[in-house]
């Protein structure tokens, strides 16, 4: 007899860093067979913020050495311990762009790759920008405004290849309303090294 649910029976880290851990887990599948899984456990959620000024969006230019590309992207970063995601979004916006915003609202939250990791992304839209300080040159090479036509072209030609940027930008261009406020809390970081009984919420 099977439960019809996936269950983590045991999990332990095989690599730990300050940002994530690689875990090896014994997972009981719905047919009761035991499988060996490796997953990436991110220790904190991440935020991304689209700063809008009418029909323009602020983008940052960054060198991403992991993929050997110089790219344009939305400002983003991690949520510090004890920090609310919306506060992290405002902080990252100021650090990476030198701008603040008088209005910031949640747009959507999602798991970018839930087949291998529990990483959570929270996306925000900000409006009514104002300058605050110079951007951090260790994180960002340049900051620039682009109109919607230019951003669409940059998506088409691969100038914006980052999924963390593409998801909220395409969400905005699709004209979708923000998710329900409850989704930001429901889309949470799930500890991967805690045995589960196979129960889950829809």
pTM of the model as a whole: 0.89
Sheet architecture: strand order including 34-42: 7-16, 20-28, 34-42
What domains can be seen in the chain, in order of their start residue?
A: 7-42 (no CATH), 46-186 (3.90.79.10)
- At 27, is the secondary structure helix, strand, or coil? strand
Half-sphere exposure of residue 132: CA atoms within 13 angstroms, side-chain side: 17
Quick one: pLDDT band at residue 196, thresholds 50, 70, 90?
low
The pLDDT value recorded for residue 133 is 85
> pLDDT digit string (tens) for 47-85?
999 999 999 999 999 998 888 999 999 999 999 999 999
The pLDDT value recorded for residue 1 is 43
């Amino acid at each position: 007899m099977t439960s019809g649910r996936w269950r983590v029976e045991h999990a332990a880290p095989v690599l730990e860093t300050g940002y994530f851990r690689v875990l090896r887990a014994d997972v009981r599948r719905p047919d009761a067979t035991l499988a060996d899984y490796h997953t990436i456990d991110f220790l904190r959620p991440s935020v991304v913020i689209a700063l809008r000024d009418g029909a323009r969006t602020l983008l940052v230019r960054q060198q991403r050495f992991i993929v050997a590309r110089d790219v344009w992207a939305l400002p983003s970063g991690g949520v510090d311990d004890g920090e609310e995601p919306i506060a992290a979004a405002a902080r990252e916006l100021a650090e990476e762009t030198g701008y603040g915003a008088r209005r910031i609202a949640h747009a959507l939250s999602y798991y970018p790759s839930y087949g291998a990791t529990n990483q959570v992304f929270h996306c925000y839209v900000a409006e009514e920008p104002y300058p605050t300080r110079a951007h951090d040159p260790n994180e960002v090479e340049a900051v620039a405004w682009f109109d919607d036509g230019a951003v669409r072209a940059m998506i088409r030609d691969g100038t914006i290849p980052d999924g963390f940027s593409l998801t909220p930008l395409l969400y905005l261009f699709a004209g979708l309303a923000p998710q329900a406020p409850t989704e930001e809390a429901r889309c949470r970081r799930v500890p991967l090294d805690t045995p589960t009984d196979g129960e889950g919420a829809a």
